[in-house]
Chains A and B, each alone.
Chain A
Amino acid sequence: MMLSKGLKRKREEEEEEEEKKEDLEVDAWWLDPGHPAVTQTPPTVASSSLFDLSVLKLHHSLRQSEPDLRHLVLVVNTLRRIQASMAPTVTLPPVPSPPIVPSVADNLLASSDATLSTSIASLLEDLSHIEGLSQAPQPLADEGPPGRPVGATPPSLGALDLLSPATGCLLDDGLEGLFEDIDTSMYDSELWVPASEGLKPGPEDGPGKEGAPELDEAELDYLMDVLVGTQALERPPGPGR
């Protein structure tokens, strides 16, 4: 019995021309063999639904307290492949190698790709930051003589080192602010600003909504919210799994 937690797939007719290069065949083999759809040439799955699926997998992977790095890397690489194939006709700077800083002048696809990559990148960076603090050998391993003998005693950590960059900023503001202003709601919103700055896509600023029609703002905003939400979720205590 096949375990298939399927997503509803949208079949976009206009996608099929774009996909001649990357043909993905999925025959609907779980259907009744007598079904006419099965006996015909299997339809190509719309890249957009595969993209959605991959994004969902990425979310799920990043949501784990300790993501499976192999799974994460494979999903990210697959996602980049799918993205690259979704706008083959649009001429833009090389999409597969995403720019570090999203340029406002880029079109929607490039900026969302960069945004996505930056989000992934920042999360992976946080991951390595947190990993690096808790594991003894890691900081020592990056320096030292060839062969890199690694000690087992953990380095002493300052209290602020334990915080991610986002909350570090909060404390900087908060120490003075606490004495000046007792309204804490300002700092609640402050919590979100440093994390989401630079991650929010600026489709309104872009030259226009050209490119893949599938990447709409609502999807991107949702993605950003979840990713930002993920950062907040990493800090509470308790078993992560």
Chain B
Amino acid sequence: MGEDTDTRKINHSFLRDHSYVTEADIISTVEFNHTGELLATGDKGGRVVIFQREPESKNAPHSQGEYDVYSTFQSHEPEFDYLKSLEIEEKINKIKWLPQQNAAHSLLSTNDKTIKLWKITERDKRPEGYNLKDEEGKLKDLSTVTSLQVPVLKPMDLMVEVSPRRIFANGHTYHINSISVNSDCETYMSADDLRINLWHLAVTDRSFNIVDIKPANMEDLTEVITASEFHPHHCNLFVYSSSKGSLRLCDMRAAALCDKHSKLFEEPEDPSSRSFFSEIISSVSDVKFSHSGRYMLTRDYLTVKVWDLNMEARPIETYQVHDYLRSKLCSLYENDCIFDKFECAWNGSDSVIMTGAYNNFFRMFDRNSKRDVTLEASRESSKPRAVLKPRRVCMGGKRRRDDISVDSLDFTKKILHTAWHPAENIIAIAATNNLYIFQDKVNSDMH
């Protein structure tokens, strides 16, 4: 695949490989691993489903690198906190892969309160020819054993085994919204509404609190932490976003407690567009460092913004995701849609950014050409292997044939979770309980 040429321009020729219906369970997180070979999804029922990319084969050109189910396991169960008379949801909020260090794969999955480290191993050989046991495992009658044999490893059907290696519990009073693995591959952080903790992957009975924004009096509470992430290369740097739309870059080497930020990224409010809902729509729902580590991507209710780490005063780029909603904010406040938290993603070369919207639409912005496209993830609108058609939302006035009127958008169909393959133009889109995987097939035949 010609990735360099692909990323120069937005290519509309996306093919749909599969849609996976995970039995009406709503997908709550999607994450590729570092090579893109594996794709993990978490759902509201506490399950994790891992997909693996099949190696490309010349014999079947159409099944070029498609994703199939690799493993499914129950990560979190519903819990009951007897002290508070509360049910702790088993919904998986975030999954993060650890960089692969041996044959096994590892990932962290978290619900509101507890983070778990899972190890995924493959077994494709089985020892046969035991001396004391027979094939079913029953002990042999010793009188029948006349000679010694060395057990041999025989191939067997691939079995994927998943086991919980660590359980990081009791670290958070409030709801965990993010986890992020450090580039040192030894530590990771977890953030809830008011605090961020640093953990060592091997130690479960303690964590270090590195950010605490809980006020002495809860009545003074006006801001919460909404997302956080470690810098991809500098193990001492991390960023966290707030409900007031600010980003704080912190250096763990400056102080043990990072309440004081190294840099504060905040865009001054535009007085002309000020409304009662200004704060709500400025709340950052996701923050992602670029692969290069030079930029940060943030998502608030109506826009995605690119920030340069060297410029705190304002973002260097702002893209409108669905500005046609700006005049509908009151209704969206009424039905709580204004509180929806959308994620955002970079492509592998940091030239294209992607985020979800309503009506199963998702948007892509090419930073170089400044072109953008709206696509739809739904079975009705695309058949397998068909090319996705760009969509348009019209406000009124002149309307083309396939345009969607803003009044007929379905606000229950929200694409909150999206992921981009680390190197190739493959994207994973979670549309409620369906997972869509789109691949970019730039092929001279298609055009």
Residues A65 and B84 in contact, CB atoms below 8 Å apart: yes
User: Whole-angstrom distance from the CB of B2 to the nearest CB of chain A?
Assistant: 42
Which of B69-77, B120-128, B331-339, B438-446 sits within the interface?
A: B331-339
Residues A152 and B411 in contact, CB atoms below 8 Å apart: no
| CA–CA, A133 and B173, complex, Å | 10
Residues A70 and B193 in contact, CB atoms below 8 Å apart: yes
Which residue of chain A lies nearest to B277 when distances are taken between CB atoms in the complex? A78
Residues A45 and B330 in contact, CB atoms below 8 Å apart: yes
Residues A131 and B174 in contact, CB atoms below 8 Å apart: yes
Which residue of chain B lies nearest to A141 when distances are taken between CB atoms in the complex? B209
Residue in B206, B283, B335, B406 whose beta carbon sits within 8 Å of that of A29 in the complex: B406
* A147 in contact with B208 given A22-B275, A29-B407, A121-B218 (CB within 8 Å): yes
CB neighbours (8 Å) of A100 from chain B are 219
Residues A74 and B280 in contact, CB atoms below 8 Å apart: yes
A87 interface residue, CB < 8 Å from B? Answer: no
Which DSSP category, helix, strand, loop or mixed, fits chain B's interface? Answer: loop
Residue in A4, A71, A130, A131 whose beta carbon sits within 8 Å of that of B339 in the complex: A71
Residues B408 and A152 in contact, CB atoms below 8 Å apart: no
User: Whole-angstrom distance from the CB of A68 to the nearest CB of chain B?
Assistant: 7
Residues A152 and B85 in contact, CB atoms below 8 Å apart: no
B101 interface residue, CB < 8 Å from A? Answer: no
CB neighbours (8 Å) of A236 from chain B are 85
Mark out the residues of chain B between 178 and 216 whose CB falls within 8 Å of any chain A CB in the assembled complex: 193-195, 197, 204-210, 212, 214
Residues A5 and B335 in contact, CB atoms below 8 Å apart: yes
Residues B84 and A146 in contact, CB atoms below 8 Å apart: no
Residues B221 and A124 in contact, CB atoms below 8 Å apart: yes
Residue in A2, A42, A135, A136 whose beta carbon sits within 8 Å of that of B331 in the complex: A2
CB neighbours (8 Å) of A6 from chain B are 331, 334
Mark out the residues of chain A between 73 and 92 whose CB falls within 8 Å of any chain B CB in the assembled complex: 73-74, 76-78, 81-82, 85
CB neighbours (8 Å) of B83 from chain A are 133-134, 162
Interface size on B, residues (CB 8 A): 65
Which residue of chain B lies nearest to A25 when distances are taken between CB atoms in the complex? B327
How many A residues touch the partner, as a band? 35 or more
B412 interface residue, CB < 8 Å from A? Answer: yes
* A239 in contact with B87 given A70-B193, A73-B221 (CB within 8 Å): yes
| CA–CA, A22 and B195, complex, Å | 34
A215 interface residue, CB < 8 Å from B? Answer: no
| CA–CA, A204 and B410, complex, Å | 49
User: Whole-angstrom distance from the CB of A47 to the nearest CB of chain B?
Assistant: 8
Residue in A1, A57, A70, A150 whose beta carbon sits within 8 Å of that of B206 in the complex: A150
Mark out the residues of chain A between 37 and 77 whose CB falls within 8 Å of any chain B CB in the assembled complex: 42, 45, 50, 53, 57, 65-66, 68-71, 73-74, 76-77
Name the residue among B83, B219, B406, B408 with the largest chain A CB count within 10 angstroms. B219
Which residue of chain B lies nearest to A154 when distances are taken between CB atoms in the complex? B170
Residue in B170, B255, B327 whose beta carbon sits within 8 Å of that of A152 in the complex: B170
| CA–CA, A117 and B81, complex, Å | 29
Name the residue among B84, B204, B279 with the largest chain A CB count within 10 angstroms. B84
User: Whole-angstrom distance from the CB of B236 to the nearest CB of chain A?
Assistant: 14
CB neighbours (8 Å) of B275 from chain A are 22-24
B76-97 near A? 1/0 per residue, CB < 8 Å = 0000110111110100000000
Residues A120 and B339 in contact, CB atoms below 8 Å apart: no
A26 interface residue, CB < 8 Å from B? Answer: yes
A125 interface residue, CB < 8 Å from B? Answer: yes
Which of B145-153, B222-230, B348-356 sits within the interface?
A: B222-230
CB neighbours (8 Å) of B243 from chain A are 70, 73-74
CB neighbours (8 Å) of B195 from chain A are 141
Residue in B174, B209, B276, B333 whose beta carbon sits within 8 Å of that of A148 in the complex: B209
A149-176 near B? 1/0 per residue, CB < 8 Å = 1111010000000100000000000000
CB neighbours (8 Å) of B280 from chain A are 74, 78
Residues B339 and A134 in contact, CB atoms below 8 Å apart: no
Name the residue among B86, B205, B217, B243 with the largest chain A CB count within 10 angstroms. B86
CB neighbours (8 Å) of A29 from chain B are 327-328, 406-407
Residues A69 and B283 in contact, CB atoms below 8 Å apart: no
Residues A137 and B335 in contact, CB atoms below 8 Å apart: no
Which residue of chain B lies nearest to A144 when distances are taken between CB atoms in the complex? B209
14 A-B residue pairs with Cβ-Cβ distance under 8 Å, sorted by A, are A2-B407, A3-B411, A4-B334, A22-B274, A27-B327, A53-B334, A65-B85, A69-B194, A130-B84, A131-B84, A147-B257, A235-B85, A240-B86, A241-B89
Pairs of residues from A and B, 9 with the lowest C-beta to C-beta distance, nearest first? A121-B219, A147-B256, A124-B218, A146-B256, A134-B83, A135-B173, A69-B193, A148-B209, A26-B330
